[in-house]
Amino acid sequence: MDVTRRHLALGGLTLLGAQAVSGRAWADAPAAVRGVLVQESGAASRVTVALDRLAEARTFFLSAPDRFVIDLANSRLALAGRGEGPGAGVVRRYRYAQRPDGISRLVLDLEAPASVVRQELGSRRAPELSFDIAPNAPMAVAASAARRETNGRNARRRTIVIDPGHGGRDPGAIGVTGVREKDVVLDAALKLRDALESRGRYHVLLTRDADRYVEHADRVQYARAQHADLFISIHADSNSNREAAGASVYTLSERGAARAQGMMASQNWDVDLGDAPRNGVVGDILVDLTQRETTNRSAQFAQTVIPQLRQVAPLLRNTHRNAGYFVLLAPDVPAVLIETGFLSNVADERRLSQPREREAMAEAMARAVDTYFIGPQMYAARA
């Protein structure tokens, strides 16, 4: 696979890893490229390269045809396959080959001209490299995306699963004046569904749309069976401290991620890796990358929804929190749990008992969904 320099596009050269890799990296034992994963992340395509140690990378774009190239210095390919793998979004596919000079080259074939809108260098503990690539003109790939389906779902309509907590025999938190969590969150979920459906861009489903109880495992399994692009679980909190007030957003904690690994075996959760190998070390690496990217995308949505909630409701201090809640455990569905407020607080209970306030929170969540899926954002690289 020969990529010439004649078509180098717009002088886009980037050196990664210089902050973490010394000048001796080129003389050390080569880093092993253990896995490559391409997934949709909002309006961008996220490319993650798993390594067994940090490596220096040089990236650039090529045109005619459009490609993104990642050269990994002093490295070796430890990938099972025939030299290529599946893409997602603006990335049609990726190809790889070992060069005689010790460089492992990854070439991403693109649907249209694109740019890197986010990159992460990794760390010694987690040495993977990550790039978010977005089309320069998003509509340029719309026709192609309309013809393709990813993981069995239409690539143009995002599937959102909304999960009203509790229900049926489980009322959840009980407010100061008797307001029940299960009623408040069901109405908020229905309002969020209406807000999203009115936009015409989403396929919206609920884990329950009436006063009935759904097991936690069934809620997660439902989202995974629907190939959900986002899972939003809606709750209302309670605390013995009656002064505690405000909304908060939870994503999966590190301990919860370890719990999820165990649940994958006990619940027979099979992660869709497309055409990539499923068995052996490579398959395990790709599953692990999938879980990490899911956690990253969950955190990305959490950071998107918090400013929107701030416009319509008070927020709990340290608003973005982490926990190992069961509904956050899916390894391949970005998920957040939104606590809309504290029913144990008089002011919060009064706010949540008002339909207009619940509608305002639902619209804020819907705006966050729009922001998350429409229009890539710039993110600073991690040192």
Question: Over pLDDT 70: what percentage of the chain?
Answer: 76
Asked whether the beta carbons of 351 and 315 are under 8 A apart, the reply is no
The pLDDT tens digits for 255-264 are 766 666 566 5
**pLDDT at 215 > cutoff 50:** yes
CA–CA dist 335, 305 (Å, integer): 12
The pLDDT tens digits for 48-59 are 998 888 888 899
pLDDT, residue 293, reads: 78
Strands 202-206 and 158-164: parallel
The pLDDT tens digits for 299-321 are 989 999 999 999 999 999 999 99
pLDDT, residue 84, reads: 87
pLDDT, residue 149, reads: 40
CB count, 10 Å around CB of 340?
27
pLDDT, residue 346, reads: 96
- How distant is the alpha carbon of residue 87 from its chain centre? 16
CA–CA dist 85, 96 (Å, integer): 9
Residue 312, phi-psi category: left (phi > 0), alpha (psi -120 to 50), beta (remainder): alpha
As a whole number, the mean pLDDT across the chain is: 81
- Residue ranges and CATH numbers for the domains of the chain are 5-147 (2.60.40.3500), 157-373 (3.40.630.40)
Determine the residue type at 220: V
pLDDT-derived band of residue 272, with 50, 70 and 90 as boundaries?
low
Higher per-residue confidence, 13 vs 202: 202
Asked whether the beta carbons of 120 and 383 are under 8 A apart, the reply is no
CB count, 10 Å around CB of 82?
8
CA–CA dist 258, 272 (Å, integer): 19
Nearest Cα residue to 354 out of 148, 191, 152: 191
Mean pLDDT along residues 219-246: 94
**pLDDT at 10 > cutoff 60:** no
**pLDDT at 16 > cutoff 50:** no
Give the Å distances, CA to CA, from 246 to 200, 241, 305, 341. 31, 13, 14, 5
**pLDDT at 25 > cutoff 80:** no
Asked whether the beta carbons of 69 and 3 are under 8 A apart, the reply is yes
CB count, 10 Å around CB of 91?
25
Percentages (nearest 5) of helix, strand, coil residues in the chain: 30, 30, 35
